[in-house]
Amino acid sequence: DAGVTQSPTHLIKTRGQQVTLRCSPISGHKSVSWYQQVLGQGPQFIFQYYEKEERGRGNFPDRFSARQFPNYSSELNVNALLLGDSALYLCASSRAPSSYNEQFFGPGTRLTVL
């Protein structure tokens, strides 16, 4: 079975631009979470979606938004990019929102903002 997939792998944007990152969960997983991992830090929770509904939101500005589609894939959108948004964006999927013992991470999308 395929693991969590994310696209694109790498992305370079300039300040003020907008970006959309995509995530496909493991088959059968209905919960998707997004994390931001700045270089040298641990992942920081951004959003969690379950059954297409937002179940949690971390301490991130409104420039960050996300959605989950009927097939449980998800998109993370970031508007008005800042230099500080440069990070590895990780997607993780699980069967249910708190099933962390069976939550699997994708390889991430490396975003660089110039």
Partner 1 sequence: GQQLNQSPQSMFIQEGEDVSMNCTSSSIFNTWLWYKQDPGEGPVLLIALYKAGELTSNGRLTAQFGITRKDSFLNISASIPSDVGIYFCAGQASGNTPLVFGKGTRLSVIA
Cis peptide before 97 (omega within 30 of 0): no
Region of 14-22, 36-44, 64-72, 73-81 interacting with partner 1 (CB under 8 A) = 36-44
Q: Which residue lies nearer to partner 1 by CB, 81 or 108? A: 108
Q: Within 44-103, which residues bind partner 1 (CB under 8 A)?
A: 44-45, 48, 56, 58-59, 90, 92, 98, 100-101, 103
Q: How many residues bind partner 1 (CB under 8 A)?
A: 23
Using CB under 8 A, pick the residue from 17, 54, 107, 112 that binds partner 1: 107
In the chain, beta strands by DSSP E: 5-7, 10-13, 19-24, 31-37, 44-50, 53-57, 64-68, 74-78, 87-94, 104-105, 109-113
